[in-house]
Structure 1
Amino acid sequence: MTYVDKPTVSNVVKLEDPNVAKVNKLEVMLNTGTDIYQGACKKRGSTLKDEYRKVAGIAYMDPKDMAKLGVANWESVLVKSDWGEVVVYAAHSRDAPHEGMIFIPKGPWANVIVSPETYCCNDPTYKGIDATVEKTDKEVLLMADLMRAVYKKYVKTEKDVGELSSLGEMPVYKKK
């Protein structure tokens, strides 16, 4: 196992913390940016693989916030904003404490929930986005599957989106 298989996140979340009130939905501020683990995957050309999903399809959270939701490291959470929703893994942030804030590495999963508006600077707003987080049983999609589900890539008809099996970790090429 390499360091990019699962980034080092300490397992300090106390799901049964009596000092934390349980909630079903948590209101948070979403911040995005680049991450060293994500960069390592991109350099190795593995953005279609499971290892990239584990470093970019993740929400780093404060352990108290994770306890409020009753989620542990590597469990799925649904993050919603005004621009969309996406399922990502939850993980204890290496930069905690920062209750009420989550960090999702800039990339395909974050792009689903950030504003597409660039305000004439060629970059969307990646910081300070109001969002909610809730626990879910849904699976975190591989990048190719996320592209198909959200942007209708690699499908012939709209009906195909929900009926096709996973595209997996293989490159997807479109025949002309």
Structure 2
Amino acid sequence: MTYVEKPTVSNVVKLDDPNVKNVSKLEVMLNTGTDIYQGACKKRGSTLKDEYRKVAGIAYMDPKDMAKLGVANWDSVTVKTDWGEVVVYAAHSRDAPHESMIFIPKGPWANVIVSPETYCCNDPTYKGIDATVEKSDDEVLLMADLMRSVYKKYVNKDKNVSELPSLGEMPVYRKK
């Protein structure tokens, strides 16, 4: 295990716990911020790799909230806000209990769903954002694929992004 691989927290609540009411959509407060593992990947230049997706494309959730949705560690969930939606991995938070709150490390996945408005302070709102979380069958995209999908990077305007093959972990360069 490298220093950037996170040990997951063991399942605290069984998914079949009779005391947990199952829901298809969970209303939560989204907080984003720096994470030591995400920062380590970024500093060493691993942002195009799968390891970055696993440390930055993730939503840390309270185990009871995960049980309500019927998701386990490394299942995909869709997080939606007024500014967008993104598919990330779900993982039990080490800081539980904090029901109805999720944490997504700063990075491309969080940027898709936070407000770009800075309200004259030169900093977007990264905390206290109303969001919903739903279980998803979609794949968590690698960073290059996310950029291509959301911001239409690395693609001609006339192409359907969802039909293109993955950019994978290779650097993407544009020919001049």
TM-score normalised to structure 2 length: 0.97
Contact 1:14 1:67 (8 Å CA) reproduced: yes
Using the TM superposition, give the Cα deviation of residue 9 of structure 1 relative to its aligned residue in structure 2, in angstroms: 2.2
**Unaligned regions of 5+ residues in structure 2, if any?**
none
- Please say if 1:10 is aligned against 2:9: yes
Separation in 1 of the partners of 2:51 and 2:126?
Answer: 23
Aligned residue number for residue 162 of structure 2: 162
Count of residues in Structure 1 that have an aligned counterpart in Structure 2: 175
Separation in 2 of the partners of 1:3 and 1:79?
Answer: 27
> For 1:107-140, what per-residue CA distance to the aligned partner results, in whole angstroms no more than 9, with x for missing partners?
1000000001011122110000000000010000
> For 1:41-61, what per-residue CA distance to the aligned partner results, in whole angstroms no more than 9, with x for missing partners?
012110000000000000000
- Please say if 1:87 is aligned against 2:120: no
Using the TM superposition, give the Cα deviation of residue 172 of structure 1 relative to its aligned residue in structure 2, in angstroms: 0.5
1:102 is paired with a residue of what secondary structure?
A: strand
2:64 is paired with a residue of what secondary structure?
A: helix
Aligned residue number for residue 40 of structure 1: 40
1:104 is paired with a residue of what secondary structure?
A: strand
1:9 is paired with a residue of what secondary structure?
A: coil
Using the TM superposition, give the Cα deviation of residue 92 of structure 1 relative to its aligned residue in structure 2, in angstroms: 0.2
Q: Which runs of 4+ in 1 moved over 3 A?
A: none
> For 1:20-64, what per-residue CA distance to the aligned partner results, in whole angstroms no more than 9, with x for missing partners?
100000000000000000011012110000000000000000000
**Unaligned regions of 5+ residues in structure 1, if any?**
none
Separation in 2 of the partners of 1:63 and 1:83?
Answer: 26
Contact 1:61 1:93 (8 Å CA) reproduced: yes
| Residue type of the alignment partner of 2:42 | K
- Please say if 1:140 is aligned against 2:143: no
Separation in 1 of the partners of 2:90 and 2:139?
Answer: 12
2:131 is paired with a residue of what secondary structure?
A: strand
Separation in 1 of the partners of 2:158 and 2:20?
Answer: 44
Contact 1:152 1:158 (8 Å CA) reproduced: no
Separation in 1 of the partners of 2:129 and 2:157?
Answer: 33
2:110 is paired with a residue of what secondary structure?
A: helix
Aligned residue number for residue 118 of structure 1: 118
| Residue type of the alignment partner of 1:175 | K
> For 1:134-168, what per-residue CA distance to the aligned partner results, in whole angstroms no more than 9, with x for missing partners?
00100000000000000000001242412210000
Separation in 2 of the partners of 1:134 and 1:32?
Answer: 18
Change (3 A) 1:11 1:158: farther
Aligned residue number for residue 174 of structure 2: 174
2:138 is paired with a residue of what secondary structure?
A: coil
2:91 is paired with a residue of what secondary structure?
A: strand
Separation in 2 of the partners of 1:162 and 1:141?
Answer: 11
Q: Root-mean-square deviation (CA), in Å?
A: 0.9
Separation in 2 of the partners of 1:42 and 1:170?
Answer: 16
